Amino acid sequence: MRIDIVTLFPGMFQGPFSQSMIERARKKGLVQIHFVNPRDFSSDKHRKVDDRPYGGGPGMLLQAEPLVRAIESVRRRDSTVIFLSPQGAVFNQATAESLALEKHLILVSGHYEGVDARVLRYVDKEISIGDYVLTGGEIPSMVVVDALIRLIPGALGNLEGARAESLRDGLLEFPQYTRPAVWKGRRVPKILLSGNHQAIESWRKKRARTVTRRKRPDLLAA
Ligand SMILES: C[S@@+](CC[C@H](N)C(=O)[O-])C[C@H]1O[C@@H](n2cnc3c(N)ncnc32)[C@H](O)[C@@H]1O
């Protein structure tokens, strides 16, 4: 998979994208991530890409021309262009799973007070990472990249890990424990030490439903 991230601030991605699972996936060649800076497509001699909104109001908007030229510079026939926006459909595991099947994603990060609305004609989907407003689309782009890369076969050391996780079947994950078997007087459930895989599997299914009912009843209702 190839991901092009359109951003005025590529430096923001350096830390998160050069550590842990994302770095490993890049090194293994499972994903190629590139950055496109709209400033490189500005016709202004100072590489300016923003201006005041028509009709008045606070702040500055990203101009359509440099942003669309940046998108078009990397668009292919099989590209899906996503604008990260608080106005988009709220991102969830099902969306991550469908995006993980794409060949080429272009993630467009807005900034300042947002973007000229005419840019939206060049976008296939708008995605929000939650009902709150952030300063820019960079952190939302990182969230989307992280969630979908871990679904690419081979990205996680243990693929089973991704399969059993929270939200895969609309349920939260069952409680997990590791050594020691007794800690501060609290014991790991006996069944997990029994070696009976069928019984463990059925215990986990039951506990996943109990945890979901307690913490996220909305998921069960859905
Ligand atoms: C300050 S916000 C602009 C918000 C815009 N004025 C509005 O009300 O829709 C700047 C940029 O941050 C990004 N952004 C902010 N909150 C977001 C969210 N919850 N999900 C995805 N992107 C977000 C978008 O790219 C947006 O263009």
Superfamily of domain 2-149 in CATH is SPOUT methyltransferase, trefoil knot domain (3.40.1280.10)
Whole-number pLDDT of residue 1: 97
Q: Which residue from 159, 115, 144, 122 is spatially nearest to 33, judged by alpha carbons?
A: 144
Question: Band of the pLDDT at 7, cuts 50, 70, 90?
Answer: very high
Instruction: Find where tokens 């209702």 sit.
Output: 221
> Is the beta carbon of 70 within 6 A of some atom in ligand 1?
no
Take atom 20 of ligand 1 and give the residue whose Cα is closest: 128
User: Ligand 1 centroid vs 155 CA: distance in angstroms?
Assistant: 29
Take atom 15 of ligand 1 and give the residue whose Cα is closest: 134
Q: What is the pLDDT of residues 158-185, one digit of tens each?
A: 655 555 678 878 999 999 999 999 999 9
Is the pLDDT confidence value at 33 over 70?
A: yes
Q: Which atom of ligand 1 is nearest to the CA of 132?
A: 19
Substitution site in 62, 91, 131, 134 for ligand 1 pocket (most atoms within 8 Å of beta carbon): 134
> Is the beta carbon of 38 within 6 A of some atom in ligand 1?
no
Contacts with 160 (C-beta within 8 Å, 6 or more apart), sequence order:
none
| SS3 category, 208 | helix
Q: Which atom of ligand 1 is nearest to the CA of 130?
A: 19
> Is the beta carbon of 136 within 6 A of some atom in ligand 1?
yes
CATH of 164-221, one of 2.60.120.40, 1.10.1270.20, 2.40.340.10, 3.40.50.1980: 1.10.1270.20
Tell me the two tokens of residue 159: 């693929």
Q: What are the domain boundaries of the chain?
A: 2-149, 164-221
Say whether 164-221 and 2-149 share the same fold.
no
Q: Which atom of ligand 1 is nearest to the CA of 127?
A: 21
Would you say 71 and 41 are in contact if contact means Cβ atoms under 8 Å apart?
no
Q: What is the pLDDT of residues 95-121, one digit of tens each?
A: 999 999 999 999 999 999 999 999 999
Take atom 26 of ligand 1 and give the residue whose Cα is closest: 110
